[in-house]
Amino acid sequence: MTLSPRQQGHRKDRLLFLGSGLLLVVFVLVGFAKAQRWGTRFVDIYIKASDVNGLNHGEDIRIAGIVAGQVGTMHLDDQGDVKVTLKIEENKAHLIGPSSKASLAKEGLIGEPYLVITADPRPREQAQEIQGRTIGYDEPINIDALLKELASSQQLLNLTLRNTTALTAENGSISTAFHSTRRLAESLQKEVTAAAPVVRESIASVAKDVHAVSQSTEAVEQDTRSFIQETQPLVVESLKDADQLTRSSQELIDILRHLFGSWLEPVNGGGEDVLEKQSSMPQEEQPIPRQE
């Protein structure tokens, strides 16, 4: 059956439309496969967090700014913690170790969030050892709580500013205190200026007296040293003479004791013997005492 030129044109258009649609589907599938990393081998590791706000399934995982995997499933356990699976490309798994930590980041202020893992490189042969392990996770700051604290701080700051403004007003307490302090400083300066010459003269006089006393002390010290040096030989000679005199006196005493020792003995026993001798002598032989 022969088709008319018009029918042939319609058929050609349909084939072109189908081919374009098929090509578009292929491109979509290729892009989806690339986004889902079909055909890529992964190593699963885990993180635990009490709050996973900002983490979503399929988010990129980056190491040193390079995409190294994606966020997997999330599971809420009985303790209220969330266990998140991180799917890391096998050829980059050796960059993660026990010291690695995960944290949430964002591209700019309103960009897409992503997960960052700090590197802890190990040999490539040990890449599979990280399989199934749990690494640390630094939870992001709670923006709502931070904004509430900021609002509270702003209120306190405004109150402080109002109080400061009231204190620094023209008739405020701080101004009065400043004026009183200035007057006190001026009066102190006047008194110090008036007393400075007297104090200076007193210090100079005391310094002169101290210098004079020091000189007198030095002179006395020198005189004393000279006197000691001059009298030392005389004292030594006097001591020698005294020692010689002592020895001579001792020798004289020994000589006298040797000569008159019998006269110096006690008279008790000796007196009785003399009386006995006198009584035994005849009467005529007794000596007659001499009249002086």
Question: How many Å apart are CA 234 and CA 72, to the nearest integer?
Answer: 114
In a domain, 217, yes or no: no
Question: How many Å apart are CA 28 and CA 21, to the nearest integer?
Answer: 10
In a domain, 253, yes or no: no
The domain total for the chain is 1
12-43: pLDDT as tens digits: 777 788 888 888 888 887 776 666 666 678 88
194-242: pLDDT as tens digits: 888 888 888 888 888 888 888 888 888 888 888 888 888 888 888 888 8
In a domain, 258, yes or no: no
Model pLDDT, residue 1:
53
Residue 122's domain comprises 40-140
In a domain, 216, yes or no: no
Tokens 């439309």, residue located: 17
Enter the tokens of residue 37.
Answer: 């990393």
| % of the chain surpassing 70 pLDDT | 80
109-143: pLDDT as tens digits: 777 889 999 998 888 888 788 888 899 998 887 77
In a domain, 286, yes or no: no
In a domain, 84, yes or no: yes
In a domain, 267, yes or no: no
Model pLDDT, residue 263:
61
Model pLDDT, residue 101:
92
Model pLDDT, residue 269:
47
* pLDDT higher than threshold 80 for residue 3: no
Q: What are the CA-CA distances from residue 193 to residues 16, 179, 187, 189, 205 (Å)?
A: 108, 21, 10, 6, 19
- pLDDT classification of 281: cutoffs 50, 70, 90: very low
In a domain, 46, yes or no: yes
Model pLDDT, residue 285:
42
Cα torsion through 140, 145, 148, 154, rounded to 10: -40
**What average pLDDT score do residues 146-157 get?**
85
41-55, 208-222, 237-251, 259-273, range with the lowest pLDDT: 259-273
51-97: pLDDT as tens digits: 888 888 888 899 988 888 889 899 998 888 999 999 988 888 888 98
Q: What are the CA-CA distances from residue 198 to residues 27, 75, 81, 190, 211 (Å)?
A: 103, 89, 82, 14, 20
